Amino acid sequence: MASADQLKALLKAYAEGDATQFHSIAMQIAAGEARSGHGKLAEELRDLIDKSRARVPSPGPSPIPLARPRGEIADLLTVTYPQTRLHDLVLGTKTGAILERVVREHKTIRDIRAHGLAPRKKLLLVGPPGTGKTLTASAIAGELSLPLFVVRLDRLITRFMGETGAKLRLIFDAIARTRAVYLFDEFDSIGSERGLSNDVGEIRRIVNSFLQMVEQDESDSVIIAATNHPTILDRALFRRFDDIVEYSLPGEQEIIAALKFKFASRKIADETNWPALARKAKGLSYADVTRAATDAIKHALIERRDITSKDLASAISERKSALAHRKPTK
């Protein structure tokens, strides 16, 4: 049976004309009935929801931002409607398979919920900067036609005791109310090991709050945490995620694929030795490879001439030089 909070949220969404919120809450009620063993009622509710959705005009290629954070939560979340897809990413075989499985489960979420099961929905992405973790959140949201909410850690974490936990509760309330993809980027900021020497107590409370809230979450939203520093995360966190997805710097074949994707609609004037360029770019992240390609394109545009492989090789060298300056000296 629907809770009082769900009924109030349902009526509020209806009154505000928020179709996305209305359908999300209605689906949560249906899922709750299915979990309670009321399969026939759950199916009837889903059929009614589908008919209601069919009557809502399609927003077209530029979706109307119906799921817009309001009130106090608006200070903690930013929302976008990504058009990115998984095929826009260059991923390793294992990583790609995990993400494809998550997307398939959420596209068939009605069948999974009807059998009293839950889709894989809590992902921890780990790996060096620039390897595609943040872009993955956009791609999953794009694949599922869901909004992407990014948690603003600068507003979430405060120096006042207990305030961060209260704000975290607001975020998880939003996760329960509005089906979407929620990204906690730089997750180590709130999930660091509770036994660290510089821990003053508040980190313990934040981690404990997150552990409790993520464990209790039964929504249809996708929760994604991303970190460049998995070794400092509290070990208890790893057990709360359905999948730990590892990212690494691209190898030569992945670099070639990323460069060819970037130049799919642009012709390079001379013959391109892709393996040589990939060897030259070894050690760069996907983000740096893409930036180098973009720099080469811009340079040719400024010079009002065609792009050459020399432009690309030069841009790769400049990017590697910049990367060397960013590394800390010993």
Per DSSP, helices labelled H in the chain are 4-15, 19-35, 39-55, 93-107, 109-114, 133-144, 153-156, 163-177, 188-191, 202-216, 235-238, 252-262, 274-281, 286-302, 309-326
Q: Tell me what the mean pLDDT of segment 213-220 comes to.
A: 91
Q: Tell me what the mean pLDDT of segment 69-76 comes to.
A: 73
pLDDT, one tens digit per residue, over 284-328 is 998 899 999 999 999 989 989 889 989 999 999 998 888 776 655
Give the DSSP letter of residue 183.
Answer: E
Q: Tell me what the mean pLDDT of segment 94-102 comes to.
A: 94
Tell me how far apart the alpha carbons of residues 132 and 95 are, in angstroms, rounded to a whole number: 11
Residue partners of 202: CB distance under 8 A and separation at least 6 = 161, 164
Residue partners of 28: CB distance under 8 A and separation at least 6 = 6, 176, 179, 219, 220
| Predicted pLDDT at 66 | 46
Residue in 139, 136, 171 with CA at minimum distance from that of residue 156: 171
Residue type, 141: A
| Predicted pLDDT at 210 | 86
Q: How far apart are the first and last CA of the chain?
A: 62
| Predicted pLDDT at 205 | 75
pLDDT at 146 over 70: yes
- pTM tops 0.85, yes or no: no
CATH architecture of 252-324: Orthogonal Bundle (1.10)
CATH architecture of 71-246: 3-Layer(aba) Sandwich (3.40)
| Predicted pLDDT at 313 | 93
Question: Angle 274-281/252-262 helices, nearest 10 degrees?
Answer: 110
Q: What ranges do the domains of the chain cover?
A: 4-55, 71-246, 252-324
| Predicted pLDDT at 329 | 45
Tell me how far apart the alpha carbons of residues 279 and 10 are, in angstroms, rounded to a whole number: 56
pLDDT, one tens digit per residue, over 27-67 is 778 777 766 777 778 777 777 877 776 555 444 333 334 45
CA angle 128, 90, 256 (to 5 degrees): 100
